[in-house]
Amino acid sequence: DQRESCEAIVKRFDSAGMSLGALSPEAHDAMATAMNRLGGRSNSGEGGEDPARYGTERMSKIKQVASGRFGVTPHYLVNAEVLQIKVAQGAKPGEGGQLPGDKVSPLIARLRCAKPGISLISPPPHHDIYSIEDLSQLIFDLKQVNPTALVSVKLVAEPGVGTIAAGVAKAYADLITISGYDGGTGASPLTSVKYAGSPWELGLTEAQQVLRANGLRGRVRMQTDGGLKTGLDVIKAAILGAESFGFGTGPMIALGCKFLRICHLNNCATGVATQEIKLRSKYFIGLPEMVMNYFTFVAQETREWMAKLGVRSMEELIGRLDLIELAEGKTDRQKRLDLSELVSMGDIPDSEPRFCVVDSNPSFDKGELAEQMVVDAMDAIEHKAMLTLDYPIRNINRSIGARVSGEIARRYGADGLPDGCLTFRFHGSAGQSFGVWNSRGLHLDLEGDANDYVGKGMAGGRIVIYPPKQAAYASNASIIVGNTCLYGATGGQLFAAGMAGERFGVRNSGALAVIEGAGDHCCEYMTGGVVIVLGETGYNFGAGMTGGFGFVYDPNERFAYRYNNELVDIHLINNEATGMYRAYLLDKIARHVEFTGSVVGRAMLENFDDYVDYFWLVKPKAATLESLLKD
């Protein structure tokens, strides 16, 4: 009776990231409802969430931002207490996710901005996070759009994770999850389930040691998941350094899962992990109370172990390696195993915190320009009044537009502001993530150039970038925006009078873009939207592309050797079958010229019949020519 209460302990419990798509809507709802009633947190997984759940007890407090960017919009991001960046997961470390086509129902397709029945492939994590600097930028992007949320980073328990965890803490994350190899949705490849990853115990202890040795442990919270099932698991995880605990398999079993590991086949016999309506309606028996009972029993068992150990609270337990002993082992091989490194802190002084001692881990970058934009525009946002503002910009000004987009989404959701209501004009060189998470009704106009990630995750509005009037260089021969622009965009328009870097439009699922050249991997994993390139592209165009379409100007007749023909095919648009696209292309080039003053675009308008012969239409093999424009 002197121990911390069950109510306090369950607040440290999270459900693991399981997407709506992998799970049935009923199972996902039940999990979220249970965790909210307990005071814990459920994790949306990487599949987005139905906006109808926002603001209700069915809302997931943890919203995941994975490499697939499925359903990640400003509206999604502002409805969260924790934003979790999924770098990798324990059951399949280093691999992107994949949702089989037969699980992409009309609901799932709508939430993920895709087409029903088409498989959805997440890019591998390195497609937008090449280094710790890129991860730091994504953390900053998320803190800009939702300043009240904590940012979490999910890592895999593998050798060396301590070094990564230290980098993540220095990149200003607020939480770190160490994910063990045990568990997973059952949709992972068999080789990953059986042979990849490491136990969470190894990753957690390494991360705890490295963070304490570098004076970083007091700045971040630590969580672990991957097969936790009982109160004893919670006790061991806390002793090894975890402050909160993620559960996946346990609450799934409580909801009726039989652990058949056929999640990927869409015929789950208990209706837990299927989108098939007949199976869900007939066999799913799960209720929030089942999950609540499970977690209450885990918390009660945790309290009993705390009583045996003589500690009154979880805080007294975290990192207390003196409370754990190494068993001698039952076999000769076990007896030769030296685990002493796992339960030793070496010469790290006891004064170094064993757990997080701050509320958050604020970035050094206070975003002064972004904050000033919010102050200047707040009255117009509140009253939906027309407003245009001008600012100089430098490359130290990062994630410009995100703070304003977050304020718009918080008030008006996905509807945003009326078209063209709020316009910001800039002069200079923009830093990374210009126009990230751009909201409807917000227009950003830049005379100059921009760094990487322009329009990342944009959901609406318009971004226009063009060179200075006194520029002496030809726009179509010069880079005006950097790498990985329009990554995961769900809507809006981007017009850039110049060339883009590599990986332009990766996972684009709804935005229209007009640019004048692109590097390698353009339109990779694209599921919707339109990309028009008024110049040459690099190699591997359209790899993994399952939706949307593109136009590429190819005067030197090289494109046929540069695109990836696995999932897309190409057509010249000067014949009868593709003639309907001539007017569409002409209209978009005209808009490009109107907004940017593009010299190349103007020449195409004036002599369109000469240029149109060199344009390729790129479309998914699964789509018909007639259906594209209608979609």
What is the arithmetic mean of pLDDT over 5-26? Answer: 94
Amino acid at 374: V
- pLDDT given for residue 273 in this prediction: 92
| CB of 139 closer than 8 Å to CB of 367 | no
- For residue 510, what are the CA distances in angstroms to 109, 292, 351, 445, 547? 13, 39, 52, 20, 9
Give the other-Cβ count within 10 Å of 618's Cβ: 24
Amino acid at 59: M
Nearest to 583 by CA among 607, 606, 608, 601: 608
User: Residue 514 is inside which H or E element, if any?
Assistant: strand 509-515
Cα–Cα distance measured from residue 34 to residue 473, given in angstroms and rounded to the nearest whole number: 60
What is the arithmetic mean of pLDDT over 207-227? Answer: 96
Note the helical H segments in 39-186: 74-78, 106-111, 132-145, 161-170
**Helix, strand or coil for residue 400?**
coil
**Helix, strand or coil for residue 15?**
strand
pLDDT tens digits, one per residue of 148-199: 999 999 999 989 999 999 999 999 999 999 999 886 655 566 666 677 778 9
- pLDDT given for residue 334 in this prediction: 93
- pLDDT given for residue 28 in this prediction: 96
pLDDT above 60: residue 595? yes
Cα–Cα distance measured from residue 205 to residue 551, given in angstroms and rounded to the nearest whole number: 51
What is the arithmetic mean of pLDDT over 536-548? Answer: 95
User: What is the average pLDDT score of the chain?
Assistant: 93
Q: How confident is the model at residue 94 (pLDDT cuts 50, 70, 90)?
A: low
pLDDT tens digits, one per residue of 218-235: 999 999 998 899 999 999
- Determine phi and psi for 382, rounding to 5 degrees: -65, -35
**Helix, strand or coil for residue 237?**
helix
Sequence length of the chain is 631
- pLDDT given for residue 186 in this prediction: 56
pLDDT above 70: residue 576? no
Give the other-Cβ count within 10 Å of 295's Cβ: 22
- pLDDT given for residue 564 in this prediction: 96
| CB of 457 closer than 8 Å to CB of 479 | no
Low-confidence winner among 215-219, 421-425, 576-580 (lowest mean pLDDT): 576-580
| CB of 454 closer than 8 Å to CB of 496 | yes
More confident residue, 139 or 578: 139
* SS3 assignment for 568-590: EEEEECCCCCCCHHHHHHHHHHH
Number of H helices, E strands in the chain: 20, 19
pLDDT above 90: residue 99? no
pLDDT tens digits, one per residue of 438-486: 999 999 999 999 999 999 999 999 999 999 988 888 888 999 999 999 9
More confident residue, 623 or 293: 293
Cα–Cα distance measured from residue 399 to residue 369, given in angstroms and rounded to the nearest whole number: 10
Cα–Cα distance measured from residue 562 to residue 525, given in angstroms and rounded to the nearest whole number: 16
| CB of 461 closer than 8 Å to CB of 443 | yes
pLDDT tens digits, one per residue of 115-159: 899 888 888 888 888 889 999 999 999 999 999 999 999 999 989
Chain CA centroid to CA 404, Å: 20
| Percentage of residues of the chain with pLDDT beyond 70 | 97
pLDDT above 70: residue 577? no
pLDDT tens digits, one per residue of 242-262: 999 999 999 999 999 998 888
| CB of 464 closer than 8 Å to CB of 485 | no
| CB of 310 closer than 8 Å to CB of 20 | no
pTM over 0.85: yes
